[in-house]
Amino acid sequence: MSKWLSYLLIIASLSATAQAVAHAVVTDYSLKIRAIHARKPDQVELSFNSKIELGLSQIFLVRKGDKLELLTASMGKKQGQIIVHIPALTVGEYALKFKVFAADGHLTEDVIHFSVLP
Amino acid sequence: MAGIADFLDSLIGGLDLICFCLAIGGLFWGLLVLRPWQHQAGYNAVLLQKTILLIYKGAFWLAAAQFFKIILKVWLMTAILDRWPFPEFASTTQFIGGIIRTLLTLGLAIYCQRVLAVNSCSKSHWLTAAAVAVPMLVSGAWLVHAAGRFENTYTLMALTVFHQLAAAAWIGGVFQLVNLWLLRQSQQVETTLWPFLLSRFSHFGMVSVVMILVTGLPIALQYIDSWNGLIGTGYGNLLMVKIILMSLALGFAGLNRRAVLAYQASGTYYPMHHRVPYYIEAETFVLVTLLFTAASLASQPPAIDIPSLTATWQEVLNTFAPQIPQITSPSHTALIAGEAGRVAIIGQVPSLAATEWSNYNHNIAGIFLTTMSFFAMLSYIRQLPAPFAFLNPAIPYARYWPLGFVGLGIFLFFRSDAETWPLGPIGFWESTFNNGEVLQHRIATLLVFVLGLFELSARLTKKADSKLPFVFPFLAAFGGLMLLTHSHVGFQAKSAFLIQVGHTTMGVFSLILACGRWLELKLDKPGKEYAGFISVAALFQIGIILMFYREPLY
């Protein structure tokens, strides 16, 4: 291979990207239509656009002060659906921070904000 | 170290595609263009061995890239999930498919090196090599974007594999043409082979391009369901960049085709040897960039999945709207004060200081570049028109315009990531290796600085055979790649896209700058002059985009 072509390839390779890989995205979630109420454990359904490897995914509850708590989750009945189990919470602002591994090999991190109502 | 893993993970996709094109495109070249079993006059052992060596190297490094992808995934998951990903990872399609593809690709590499290389004129051995490649191609289908989809999964997987095959046939063929030209230059093959194989590839290349379109269009229609999706999402934007790059490459291919037709019609030999090789070199710049863009595209969510995060065409146009550049910066104290609120998850407070800090950086960089492009244009002029004749003695100093890159590099070093060293509290190593975006900024800063030093030396050197002038196009193409694949973490998807659209446009202009300068150095008149003008105009355009840059409040 030509020397200059080698240089081009090396340079190209050095230009590596720091993508926030985000191929798997949440296309729908139950919080849009059903709020969570205080002092009662609940569930949130997250629907992704891609198959998700649940064993390699993590979903956290974020409380005031950005304190993280790992939540348990299970696969839903529909394809790409995950059921997140939410503990009993007090009224206030919270978020779900998730790190999911999609079947196509991409790792995605994202956040969904929500309020807990009285 | 998550930053490095993230950085390398994105890099490996582009490298994978380059190796894929070398291996699979090389097989197409051997089977359909070279056809060694026909014992064409001029074929010799050097040509055949070099051709097979490229295929072998492509396959070997493809296997290595595939295996490294798996290692990177493990590394990345360990860093992000904060735990060892096994045994769960061992049962995923990515792991199983990746290991199978690695082994099958290695098998192809070994076959090419051990068997095909010693039977290089045998049609049956070439066909066997293609047959050995088939399982590897099929296994790759489970590793593409479509594998994770719910609808039309197998159709999309098949279309993607055929799309990759068609692209490999074209791009791998161009790599082989470069190889042939180098053999011709070093007089290792007969002169007549160059026009002969160029002519054969010309037809083959056209069929490949048609196949790229035939397979790519249904994929695009499946992933993008509206004009807004094409214009207003990261996926659509990168697809448009791919289309632009492909058009550029086809432009060069068209020039080559014209030269081939002229040669066939009238025996005009000059363009075949003094222009076509350089068009092919420039085309290679474009195609390598295209492959990295394609790899980047695979990490974007399809437009059809994010209708609520899609920008309107008015919002996209607005990012390029002329505005007065911001030439005052908020204080570093104000910026740092707003950082805690900006990065908070609960109770996030957008930071005006952060937005203005970034606007200032981009706008000042734009002023640097437009000023430099003005002096670069001036450096081509011998005499100014009469009313400005008094400035003529200053013209020789215009050739120092690359010094602007050195100044820009120093400016970026201090301003790029204000929360990190040297201005901010986060240390140099910690920020560089834990944050892919900071790592990219550090590389870009070094690139700009080095670019200035090399180009200045190149413009001042008196050596006629100096190689220094060729550094600039390489580094400019590198800069273009960084812009095309640059990401902005911490933004909402729509905001990130509105930033991305400006950066990708600048990436395309950087590539034009690189190709223009390359051709200016290689071609004769008048092509040389046109190329030089286009190159400087591209630099000017990048400066203009930066001068009008406005970041969304976040």
Biggest alpha carbon distance in chain B?
A: 78
Using 50, 70 and 90 to split pLDDT, how confident is the model at A15? very low
Distance from CA of B438 to the nearest CA of A (A): 9
More confident residue, B109 or A64: B109
- Region of poorest pLDDT, from A9-23, A50-64, B145-159, B437-451: A9-23
* A23/B301 CB distance under 8 A: yes
Residues of A with Cβ-Cβ distance to B7 under 8 angstroms? 16-18
Distance linking the first and last C-alpha atoms of chain B? 26
Rounded mean pLDDT, B202-231:
92
Question: pLDDT band for position B3 (50/70/90)?
Answer: low
Q: Which helix (H) or strand (E) holds A86?
A: strand A81-86
Q: Sorting pLDDT into bands at 50, 70 and 90, what band is B147?
A: confident
CA atoms within 13 A on the CB side of A118: 0
Amino acid at B214: V
| Whole-number Å distance between alpha carbons of B273 and B387 | 44
B84 → chain A, closest CA residue: A56
Please report which confidence band the pLDDT of residue B12 belongs to, taking 50, 70 and 90 as the band edges: confident
Partner B contacted by A70 (CB < 8 A): no
Please give the helix or strand (H or E) that residue B516 lies within, else none: helix B493-522
Q: Read off the pLDDT band of B83 (50, 70, 90).
A: confident
Of the pLDDT bands very low, low, confident and very high (cuts 50, 70, 90), residue A17 is very low
Picking from A63, A41, A26, A48, the residue whose alpha carbon sits closest to that of residue B149 is A48
**Residue B292 token pair:** 């990295």
Between chains, do A16 and B80 touch, taking CB under 8 Å as contact? no
Cis amide leading into B402 (omega within 30):
no
| φ, ψ dihedrals at A98, nearest 5° | -125, 145
| Range B429-439 average pLDDT | 79
Task: Please give, one letter per residue, the 3-state secondary structure of B9-58.
Answer: HHHHHHHHHHHHHHHHHHHHHHHHHHCHHHCCCCCCHHHHHHHHHHHHHH
Q: Which of A99, A111, A113 sits opposite B81 (nearest CB)?
A: A99
Which residue among A7, A80, A95 sits closest to B150, beta carbon to beta carbon? Answer: A80
Dihedrals φ, ψ of A113, to 5°? -90, 150
The beta-carbon neighbor of B179 closest among A1, A24, A79 is A1
Residue B4 has pLDDT above 80, yes or no: no
Average pLDDT, chain A: 80
pLDDT at B479 (0 to 100): 85
Q: What is the pLDDT of residue B10?
A: 66
Residue A18 at interface with chain B, using a CB cutoff of 8 Å: yes
pLDDT, tens only, B107-122 = 999 999 999 999 999 9
CB contact set of A115 (below 8 Å; sequence gap of 6+): A35, A92, A93, A94
Q: Determine the Cα–Cα distance for residues B116 and B344; give it in Å rounded to an integer.
A: 59
Mean pLDDT of B317-332: 91
Cβ of residue B293 closer than 8 Å to a chain A Cβ: no
Q: What angle do CA A62, B76, B431 make, to 5 degrees?
A: 75
Above 50 in pLDDT, residue A11? no
Compute the average pLDDT of residues B162-170: 95
Q: Does residue A9 register a pLDDT over 70?
A: no
| Mean pLDDT across chain B | 89
Cβ under 8 Å to A: B residues 79-118: 80-81, 85, 88-89, 92-94
This prediction has a pTM of 0.88
- The DSSP bridge pattern shows strands A73-75 and A81-86 to be antiparallel
How far is the C-alpha of B306 from the C-alpha of B521, rounded, in Å?
Answer: 45
B184 close to A (CB below 8 A): no
What pLDDT, on a 0 to 100 scale, did the predictor assign at position B425? 82
Closest of B134, B176, B130 to residue B27, by C-alpha: B130
Angle at B84 (CA atoms; ends A76, A54), nearest 5 degrees = 5
Q: Does B317 touch chain A (CB under 8 A)?
A: no
Go through chain B and tell me how many residues it has. Answer: 554
A4 CA to chain B: closest CA distance, Å? Answer: 9
- Model pLDDT, residue B6: 64
For residue B297, give the chain A residue with the closest CA: A23
Tell me the C-alpha distance between B458 and B274, whole Å: 23
The residue-averaged pLDDT of B1-24 equals 81
Q: Report the SS3 class of residue A15.
A: coil
DSSP states along B136-184: HHHHHGGGSGGGG-SSSHHHHHHHHHHHHHHHHHHHHHHHHHHHHHHHH
Q: What is the pLDDT of residues B470-521, one digit of tens each?
A: 999 999 998 888 888 765 544 567 788 888 899 899 999 999 999 999 999 9
**Which phi-psi region, left, alpha or beta, contains residue B35 (left: φ > 0; alpha: ψ -120 to 50)?**
left
Residue B305 touches chain A, beta carbons under 8 Å? yes
What is the predicted ipTM? 0.77
Cβ-based contacts under 8 A for chains A and B: 179
Report the alpha-carbon distance of residue B113 to residue B116 in Å, rounded.
6
> Can you spell out the DSSP letters for B410-479?
HHHHHHTTTTBTTTSSB-HHHHHHH-HHHHHHHHHHHHHHHHHHHHHHHHH---TT-SGGGHHHHHHHHH
Nearest residue on chain B to A59, alpha-carbon basis: B81
B178 contacts on A by Cβ (under 8 Å): 1-2, 5
B20 touches B62 (CB < 8 A): yes
Structure confidence by residue, pLDDT tens digits, B511-551 = 999 999 999 999 988 889 899 999 999 999 999 999 999 98
Highest mean pLDDT among B92-106, B296-310, B482-496: B92-106
Distance CA B54, CA B338 (A): 53
Residue listed under structure tokens 């490294």:
B68
